[in-house]
Amino acid sequence: MEKAFLGIGWSFPPAFPRESGTVALSAGTQDIEESLRILIGTLPGERVMLPEYGASVRDLLFESMDTGTQTLLFDRMKTAILRFEPRIEVLELSLDNRFLTEGRIELRLDYRVRATNSRFNFVYPFYLAEGSQVETP
């Protein structure tokens, strides 16, 4: 029943299991969370067919995380979700800076699925030294 309300889409990253012979699909809240990952990780202008798609938040990660920067980050996130993920309503956005010395900031999103009135949370990690395998002693 949840699939009918929330939809079914290609899993992300795309996978093609040998046993099924078709593309792997995700449904329900898994599909929503995969869509959120794609939305947050995409910069506006990256998609040729939909150039305005994306959350434009990566450029803020190297700014000082003062109140103004956090407000701008949250505003960009809420606007992107409102425009491109209509299945959910943002209830709260927050940042967790506890792992800043390890090069990671976590964005926490509390949301409500409109069709089912169910509440969920989603954590998106931003890695400031992405791909560097840097560890702090």
Residue 30 has pLDDT above 50, yes or no: yes
Task: Give the other-Cβ count within 10 Å of 89's Cβ.
Answer: 14
Structure tokens of 28?
């329900």
Q: Which of 69, 76, 112, 117 is nearest to 92 (CA)?
A: 112
Q: Give the per-residue pLDDT at 36.
A: 94
Whether the pTM exceeds 0.85: the reply is no
Judge contact between 87 and 115, C-beta under 8 A: yes
Q: Where are the domains of the chain?
A: 2-127
Residues 44-97 pLDDT 10s: 999 999 999 999 888 887 787 788 988 999 999 999 999 999 999 999 999 998
Residues 9-18 pLDDT 10s: 877 778 888 8
Class of the CATH-defined domain 2-127: alpha beta
**Residue 50, C-beta contacts closer than 8 angstroms, at least 6 positions apart:** none
